[in-house]
């Protein structure tokens, strides 16, 4: 009798490669996204007193607010640059090589962030945020690409979802560590920021044990024997002929066409449509209003009568729901498919955000309405985690064959970070200008992305990359 593993194709070595790549990179991304929420007042006051020590005068609210928003937003600028360099780095150093080298930037950032207070320099904070942003932008491109390339076809979506799973877990970890009894104090906040070095050390210890992506070795470097070794290691069996044959066929097909350059991405009809789809899914994730709702959550909880501490715990509960739903979507993505989950998620968010708008608009007319809005806030996050949170990261890898994948990833992830940057800059002014109507703006955007997904996005579940790119060629898509 043959005992089957619980999930076909998953074995200890593949799990190690997934953990080494995802934990060592997505942790940086999630952690640094969330880490400055809790200690905002502490770090602002540090900037204020630093300036006072240098110049003898304190900062007024406007100038301090401006310096703080630089600390926050320079992170996305670094992210955009890192993302745009993904393609070059992934092809020159490899997926694994790029990830390993990227840990150098984490260590630099951790030193800058961790010693800024001791050195009395808020400029070090700004520099550190830029460097860690660069690291995160690059990770968000390299890791989903590596994960997708080492996965067996029927697990590609689940393994790709691990990236977002680690992101949401580490956002939660950053919020918990930022609480006052832990690292959220005047003396301990530098430690809170320096924690980001730990996953880098983990990755430096584990990823060298894992092989480079077999697809990269064969299709980019043309080394057949090494590719076979890598695949054998990852699958835990020497019976990898079928998979290797598929890769070889892709290699032969690739040799017939000229190398894809950046310009082809925009001019070739069979590349342009998948690129538009990948970028639209990235935009759907960032423009959905998720950050706005999370930003609003504490206020909504407080207006429902929860005190500040309870509201903080409710925010943590919301983060936990995000983790739980992302975990569920990791299974669903191979059963229902990517397109279905994107449609359910975006559609659910669309309806939810309209109801949330009504609740906020009429919350003074009855006490129970505030409680209902708590439910809608949590449901919004759950719907986000169903698909829009995780799928865009790995879908771009699925939509392109080897020759175009790294360029496509660069562009799509660059679009993601740019949108993140723009939402961060415009949300507050928009909120001041139009108040809760900002939720209707998000509803409109969600509706449009739902329609786009319904009409244009193909299902990629259980299809080989060759089948997916053949689909775009045949459609003569324009
Ligand atoms: C800066 O610090 C001083 C002294 O603690 C305080 O009076 C002032 O309000 C602070 N400025 C801002 C904008 O918080």
Separation of CA 125 and ligand 1 centre (Å): 19
Helix, coil or strand: residue 1? coil
CA of 58 to the centre of ligand 1 (A): 6
Give CA–CA dist 168/29, Å, rounded. 9
Residues 190, 70: Cα–Cα separation, whole Å: 18
CA dist 158 and 332 (Å) reads 8
- Does residue 238 fall inside a structural domain? no
- Residues within a 6 A CB radius of ligand 1: 48, 58-61, 64
Report the nearest-CA residue for atom 6 of ligand 1: 58
In this prediction, residue 78 carries a pLDDT of: 98
* CB distance 478 to 269 below 8 Å: yes
For residues 289 and 405, membership in a common domain is answered with yes
Tell me: do 412 and 314 sit in the same domain. yes
**Ligand 1: distance of its center to the CA of 66 in Å?**
14
Distance 190 CA to ligand 1 centre (A): 20
How far does residue 52's CA lie from ligand 1's centre (Å)? 9
The answer on 296 and 148 residing in a single domain is no
pLDDT for residue 476: 57
Round to whole Å and give the CA distance between 386 and 341.
6
Residue 386 counted as domain residue: yes
User: Which pLDDT tens digits describe the chain residue by residue (478 residues)?
Assistant: 455 555 778 999 999 999 999 999 999 999 999 999 889 999 999 999 999 999 999 999 999 999 999 999 999 999 999 999 999 999 999 999 999 999 999 999 999 999 999 999 999 999 999 999 999 999 999 999 999 999 999 999 999 999 999 999 999 999 999 998 999 999 999 999 999 999 999 999 999 999 999 999 999 999 999 999 999 999 999 999 999 998 998 888 888 877 788 888 898 888 999 999 999 999 999 999 998 887 778 777 887 778 877 888 888 999 999 999 999 999 999 999 999 999 999 999 999 999 999 998 888 888 888 888 889 999 999 999 999 999 999 999 999 989 899 999 999 999 999 999 999 888 888 888 998 899 999 999 999 999 999 999 999 999 998 889 889 888 754 4
Residue 215 lies in a domain: no
Is the residue at 219 inside a domain?
no
Q: Tell me: do 198 and 267 sit in the same domain.
A: no
CATH number for the domain that contains residue 201:
1.20.1250.20
Q: Judge if 200 and 333 occupy the same domain.
A: no
Count of domains for the chain: 2
Report the residue among 41, 44, 45, 50 best suited for mutation to probe ligand 1: largest number of ligand atoms under 8 A from its CB.
45
Ligand 1, from 41, 58, 59, 65: best to mutate by most atoms within 8 Å of Cβ?
A: 58
278 and 164 part of one domain? no
Please indicate, yes or no, whether residues 273 and 417 belong to a single structural domain of this protein. yes
pLDDT (tens digit per residue) in 311-320: 888 889 999 9
pLDDT value, residue 390: 97
**Cα 40 to averaged position of ligand 1 atoms, centre (Å):** 14
Residue 297, domain member (yes or no): yes
Instruction: State residue 51's pLDDT score.
Output: 96
Q: Residue 4's pLDDT is what? A: 52
pLDDT at 6: 57
Alpha carbon nearest to ligand 1 atom 4, residue: 58
Quote the domain boundaries for residue 329: 258-478
Same domain, 202 and 296: no
Nearest to 229 by CA among 242, 238, 221: 238
Residue 379: inside a domain: yes
Q: Which protein residue's CA is at the shortest distance from atom 3 of ligand 1?
A: 58
Q: Quick one: which atom of ligand 1 is closest to the CA of 58?
A: 1
**Do both 182 and 264 map to the same domain?**
no
Q: How far is the CA of 61 from the centre of ligand 1 (A)?
A: 8
Q: Kindly state whether residue 236 falls inside one of the protein's structural domains.
A: no
Both 52 and 163 in one domain: the answer is yes
331 & 473 share domain: yes
Identify the pLDDT of residue 353. Answer: 95
Ligand 1, atom 8: nearest CA belongs to which residue?
A: 58
Tell me the Cα Rg of the chain.
23
Helices and strands (DSSP H and E) totals, the chain? 21, 0
Both tokens of 454, joined, read 């319904």
Co-location of 199 and 293 in the same domain: no
407 falls within a domain: yes
């Amino acid at each position: 009798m043959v005992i089957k593993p619980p999930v076909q194709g998953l074995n200890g070595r593949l799990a190690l490669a997934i953990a080494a790549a995802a934990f060592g990179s997505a942790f940086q991304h999630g952690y640094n996204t969330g880490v400055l929420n809790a200690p905002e007042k502490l770090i602002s006051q540090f900037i204020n007193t630093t300036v006072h020590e240098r110049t003898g005068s304190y900062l007024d609210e406007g100038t301090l607010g401006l310096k703080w928003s630089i600390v926050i937003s320079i992170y996305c600028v670094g992210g955009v640059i890192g993302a745009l360099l993904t393609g070059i780095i992934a092809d020159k150093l490899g997926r694994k090589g790029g990830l390993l080298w990227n840990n150098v930037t984490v260590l630099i950032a951790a030193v800058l962030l961790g010693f800024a207070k001791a050195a009395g320099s808020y400029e070090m904070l700004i520099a550190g945020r830029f460097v860690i942003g660069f690291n995160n932008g690059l990770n968000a491109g390299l890791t989903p690409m590596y994960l997708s390339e080492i996965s067996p076809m029927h697990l590609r979506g689940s393994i790709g979802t691990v990236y977002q799973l680690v992101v949401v877990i580490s956002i939660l970890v950053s919020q918990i560590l930022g609480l006052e009894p832990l690292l959220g104090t005047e003396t301990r906040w530098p430690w809170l920021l320096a924690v980001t070095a730990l996953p880098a050390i983990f990755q430096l210890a584990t990823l060298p044990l894992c092989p480079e992506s077999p697809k990269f070795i064969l299709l980019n470097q043309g080394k057949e024997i090494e590719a076979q070794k890598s695949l054998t290691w990852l699958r835990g069996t020497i019976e990898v002929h079928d998979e290797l044959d598929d890769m070889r066929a892709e290699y032969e097909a690739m040799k017939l066409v000229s190398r894809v350059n950046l310009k082809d991405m925009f001019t070739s009809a069979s590349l342009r449509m998948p690129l538009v789809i990948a970028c639209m899914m990235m935009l759907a994730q960032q423009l959905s209003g998720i950050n706005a709702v999370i930003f609003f959550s504490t206020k909504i909880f407080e207006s429902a009568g929860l005190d500040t501490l309870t509201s903080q715990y409710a925010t943590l509960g919301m983060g936990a729901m995000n983790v739980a739903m992302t975990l569920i979507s990791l299974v669903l993505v191979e059963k229902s498919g990517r397109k279905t989950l994107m449609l359910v998620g975006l559609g659910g968010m669309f309806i939810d955000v309209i109801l949330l708008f009504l609740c906020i608009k009429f919350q003074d007319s009855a006490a129970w309405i505030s409680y209902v809005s708590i439910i809608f806030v949590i449901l919004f996050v759950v719907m986000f985690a169903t698909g829009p949170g995780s799928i865009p990261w790995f879908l771009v890898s699925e939509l392109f064959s080897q020759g175009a994948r790294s360029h496509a990833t660069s562009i799509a992830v660059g679009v993601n970070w740019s949108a993140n940057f723009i939402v961060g800059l415009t949300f507050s002014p928009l909120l001041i200008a139009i108040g809760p109507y900002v939720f209707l703006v998000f509803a409109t955007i969600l509706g449009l992305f739902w329609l786009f997904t319904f009409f244009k996005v193909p299902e990629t579940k259980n299809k080989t990359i060759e089948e997916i790119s053949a689909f775009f060629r045949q459609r003569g898509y324009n």
